[in-house]
C-alpha cells in the first residue's frame, strides 16, 4: 500500500475533540456540542475538570429527522443565563453535520451579547487537526485571534500532521499499543550513566498541558544527578517559551517555568512554545550540533518522534511518551529505551503545577536504594 494513502485502522482522536480542546485554549467559558448527549463523552467530562462547561443540545432520534435548530437556540439562552460566560463555543458533531445543520442562523437568532465561535465539524476527517483549524478560522472571524496568530497556528498544524505521518500514530496502518520498557530498569540505567560520569541532556518537547507531567521527568533526572554530585553533567532544554501560543497555552508555560525556578532548576535552552512541539525539533537539532554533540545520553519527554535523529544518533536515548502506540515507531528510530506514562492526560487537566510522573517517582525511589 502507498504510504501516502495508508488507511489508519486503529482508533485515533477525532476532529470534534480537537475542536473542543482548541476552544478550551482560547479560554471559552462554555462549549456546546450540537448533537447527541453521548458524543465525545469522555473528553467532554475531562474538559469540565479543566474548568470549562461542556453541554449538549441532546439531539435524539426525533432531532436526527427534524433537526436541532430550536434546541440550539434554547441551549444558547440557557447557558448564557446559567453561567454568564464571556465567550461561548458551538461545536458540530457527526449527527448534526450529516443532517445538514447550519449553526450560524440559530446563533444569530439567539442574539446574545456574548461572542460565539461556531465550529462546523464532524469526525470524518483524515487528520484530526482539521478540528483545530476550523475552530481557529471561526475565532479569526470573530476577532478572538489576529491573522498573525492564525497563520502561526496553521503552520504548526501542518507540521504536527507531518510529524505523525513520518514517525507517529499515523505512520502505519495499525500500531499495537505497548507499555514500553520496564521503568525501574531504565531508572537504574540512568543512575549507572551518571555514576560513570557520563553527560546527559534532558529535552522536554511537550504538547500544551501535558508539559505539567513531562516537566517532572526533567526535575527527577536533575534531582538524582545532584544527589550523585553530577548536577553539572546535565543540560536542560524545554519548549516553555512564555510568550508564544494561545492564552491558556502561555499560562501553562508560565506555571511550569515558575515551578522550575522554585525547585532551583535551570533551563539552559528554551526551544519554543508549548504548542511548537512539531517544529522545535529543528532548534533542538541545531543546538545539539553546535554545543552538545559530544554528550553521552539524552532523556527526551513529550513528543520525542518530532526530534531529528541527525545529531542524537551517537547518544543513548531514553524517551518518555504518553502514547502506547508510539513505542514501536520510536524503537524503529533508534531510541534504546521507550517508556509510556499511562493516563497522563487526565492527570494534567485542571492543574497549574508540575505533576509527579510514574517514571520520575520510580527514578527517585531507585536512586534512594542506590545511594
Question: By three-state DSSP, how is residue 207 classified?
Answer: coil
pTM of the model: 0.93
Look at residue 252 and tell me whether its pLDDT is greater than 50: yes
126 in any annotated domain: yes
Confidence band for 186, pLDDT divided at 50, 70 and 90: very high
Tell me the mean pLDDT in the region 13-39.
96
Same structural domain, 138 and 193: no
Domain final position from 116, 145, 174:
145
Average pLDDT of span 27-37: 97
* Least confident range of 106-110, 160-164, 271-275: 160-164
How confident is residue 126, by pLDDT bands cut at 50, 70 and 90? confident
Whether residue 122 is predicted with pLDDT greater than 90 in this model: the reply is yes
Same domain (yes/no): 190, 45: no
Asked whether residue 228 carries a pLDDT value surpassing 80, the answer given is: yes
Query: What pLDDT, in 10s, does the model give residues 279-311?
Result: 999 999 999 999 999 999 999 999 999 999 999
Region 61-77: mean pLDDT is: 95
pLDDT on residue 349? 93
CATH assignment at residue 36 = 3.40.50.1980
The per-residue pLDDT for range 306-354, each reduced to its tens digit, is 999 999 989 999 999 999 999 999 999 999 999 999 989 999 999 999 9
The answer on 190 and 138 residing in a single domain is no
- Mean residue pLDDT across the chain: 95
Q: Do 278 and 332 fall within a single domain?
A: yes
The average pLDDT across 158-174 equals 91
User: Percent of the chain beyond pLDDT 70?
Assistant: 99
The residue-averaged pLDDT of 46-55 equals 94
Cell of 238: 524545554
Confidence of residue 4 (pLDDT cuts 50, 70, 90): low
Q: Residues 281, 136: one domain?
A: no
**Residue range(s) defining the domain that contains residue 327:** 183-370
Residue 232 lies in a domain: yes
Assess if residue 170 is contained within a domain. no
In a shared domain, residues 223 and 352: yes
Tell me whether residue 257 is in a domain: yes
Last residue of a domain, one of 127, 145, 163: 145
Under 8 Å between Cβ of 80 and 112: yes
Q: Where does residue 197 fall: left (phi above 0), alpha (psi -120 to 50 degrees), or beta otherwise? A: left
Judge if 226 and 319 occupy the same domain: yes
Number of compact structural domains in the chain = 2
**Sequence-distant (≥ 6) Cβ neighbours of residue 98 within 8 angstroms:** 122
**pLDDT > 60? residue 93:** yes
Query: What is the spatial distance between Cα 318 and Cα 335, in angstroms, rounded to a whole number?
Result: 6
Tell which residue, 36, 39, 82, has the closest CA to residue 59. 36
Total H helices, total E strands in the chain: 15, 10
Q: Label each residue of 8-69 as H, E or C.
A: CCCCCCCHHHHHHHHHHHCCCCEEEEECCCCCCHHHHHHHHHCCCEEEECCCCHHHHHHCCH
Regarding whether 258 and 127 lie in a shared domain, the answer is no
In this prediction, residue 5 has a pLDDT band, given cuts at 50, 70 and 90, of: low
Whether 151 maps to a domain, the answer reads no
pLDDT at residue 119 tops 90:
yes
- Same domain as 127, residue 254: no
- 1, part of any domain: no
Q: Are residues 248 and 351 in the same domain?
A: yes
Asked, for residue 56, whether it belongs to a domain, the answer is yes
Task: Let me know whether 54 and 137 are in one domain.
Answer: yes
pLDDT value of position 1: 42
Q: What is the pLDDT of residue 136?
A: 97
On the CB side of 294, CA atoms within 13 Å amount to 2
Q: Is the pLDDT of residue 13 over 90?
A: no
Angle (CA) 172 19 5, round 5°: 25
What is the structure's pLDDT at 313? Answer: 86
Q: Does residue 4 form part of some domain?
A: no
Q: What percentage of the chain exceeds 90 in pLDDT?
A: 91
Whether residue 126 sits in one domain with residue 46: yes
What's 209's domain CATH number?
A: 3.40.50
Q: Is pLDDT above 50 for 158?
A: yes
Chosen domain end from 92, 125, 145 = 145
Amino acid at each position: 500500500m502507498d504510504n501516502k494513502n495508508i488507511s489508519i485502522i486503529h482508533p485515533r482522536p477525532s476532529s470534534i475533540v480537537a475542536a473542543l480542546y482548541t476552544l478550551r485554549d482560547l479560554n471559552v467559558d462554555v462549549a456546546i456540542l450540537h448533537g447527541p448527549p453521548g458524543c465525545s463523552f469522555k473528553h467532554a467530562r475531562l474538559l469540565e475538570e479543566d474548568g470549562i462547561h461542556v453541554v449538549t443540545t441532546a439531539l435524539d432520534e426525533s432531532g436526527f429527522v427534524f433537526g436541532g435548530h430550536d434546541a440550539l437556540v434554547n441551549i444558547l439562552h440557557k447557558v448564557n443565563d446559567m453561567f454568564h460566560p464571556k465567550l461561548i463555543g458551538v461545536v458540530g458533531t457527526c449527527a448534526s453535520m450529516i443532517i445538514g445543520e447550519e449553526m450560524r442562523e440559530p446563533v444569530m437568532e439567539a442574539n446574545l451579547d456574548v461572542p460565539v465561535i461556531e465550529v462546523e465539524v464532524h469526525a470524518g476527517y483524515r487528520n484530526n487537526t482539521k478540528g483545530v483549524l476550523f475552530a481557529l478560522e471561526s475565532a479569526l472571524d470573530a476577532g478572538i485571534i489576529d491573522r498573525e496568530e492564525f497563520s502561526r497556528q496553521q503552520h504548526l498544524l501542518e507540521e504536527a500532521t507531518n510529524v505523525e505521518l513520518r514517525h507517529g500514530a499515523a505512520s502505519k496502518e495499525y500500531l499495537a499499543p505497548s507499555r514500553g520498557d520496564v521503568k525501574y530498569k531504565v531508572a537504574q540505567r540512568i543512575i549507572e550513566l551518571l555514576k560513570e560520569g557520563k553527560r546527559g541532556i534532558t529535552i522536554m518537547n511537550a504538547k500544551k498541558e501535558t508539559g505539567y507531567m513531562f516537566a517532572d521527568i526533567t526535575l527527577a533526572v536533575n534531582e538524582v544527578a545532584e544527589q550523585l554530585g553530577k548536577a553539572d553533567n546535565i543540560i536542560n532544554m524545554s519548549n516553555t517559551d512564555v510568550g508564544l501560543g494561545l492564552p491558556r497555552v502561555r499560562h501553562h508555560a508560565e506555571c511550569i517555568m515558575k515551578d522550575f525556578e522554585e525547585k532551583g532548576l535551570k533551563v539552559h535552552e528554551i526551544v519554543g512554545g508549548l504548542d511548537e512541539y512539531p517544529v522545535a525539533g529543528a532548534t533542538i537539532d541545531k543546538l545539539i550540533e553546535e554545543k552538545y554533540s559530544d554528550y553521552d545520553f539524552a532523556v527526551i519527554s513529550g513528543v520525542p518522534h518530532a526530534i531529528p535523529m541527525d545529531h542524537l544518533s551517537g547518544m543513548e536515548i531514553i524517551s518518555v511518551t504518553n502514547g502506547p502506540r508510539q513505542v514501536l515507531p520510536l524503537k524503529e528510530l533508534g531510541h534504546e529505551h521507550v517508556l509510556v506514562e499511562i493516563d497522563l492526560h487526565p492527570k494534567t487537566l485542571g492543574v497549574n503545577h508540575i505533576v509527579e510522573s510514574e517514571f520520575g517517582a520510580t527514578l527517585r525511589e531507585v536512586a534512594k536504594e542506590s545511594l
